[in-house]
């Protein structure tokens, strides 16, 4: 039953400490922001270089064309039929 009271007291104490150390917290937060900004810039640069490298490799590779003519594959059904198929015989064929 005392858990909400304890949690509230801890949060309140945290707020008081934060207000007392406002300048220090601001400095730490701004340093963290600047550092993350630098890291993001470096990652963006590395990603751009990687993309350019891949594009250059693809341009250098010549597409290989096969000399054989590719014939379309005849589609066949894998489904088994359960009914018998009947064909009518024309009288001319007899």
* pLDDT tens sequence for the chain (94 residues): 678 888 999 999 988 988 888 888 889 889 999 999 999 999 999 999 999 999 888 888 766 665 667 777 777 766 666 666 566 656 655 5
Residue 32 domain boundaries? 23-61
Statement: the pTM of the whole predicted model exceeds 0.75:
no
Q: Tell me how far apart the alpha carbons of residues 91 and 89 are, in angstroms, rounded to a whole number.
A: 6
Asked whether residue 34 is domain-assigned, the answer is yes
Residue 51 has a pLDDT of 92
Nearest to 61 by CA among 49, 73, 53, 70: 53
Asked whether residue 41 is domain-assigned, the answer is yes
Asked whether residue 43 is domain-assigned, the answer is yes
Could you give the number of structural domains in the chain? 1
């Amino acid at each position: 039953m005392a858990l909400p009271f304890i949690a509230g007291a801890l949060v309140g104490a945290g707020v008081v400490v934060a207000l007392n150390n406002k300048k220090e917290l601001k400095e730490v937060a701004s340093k963290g922001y600047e550092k993350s900004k630098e890291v993001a810039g470096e990652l963006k640069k590395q990603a751009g270089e990687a993309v350019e490298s891949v594009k250059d490799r693809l341009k250098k590779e010549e597409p290989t064309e096969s000399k054989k003519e590719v014939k379309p594959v005849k589609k066949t059904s894998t489904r088994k039929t359960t009914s018998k198929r009947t064909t009518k015989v024309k009288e001319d064929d007899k």
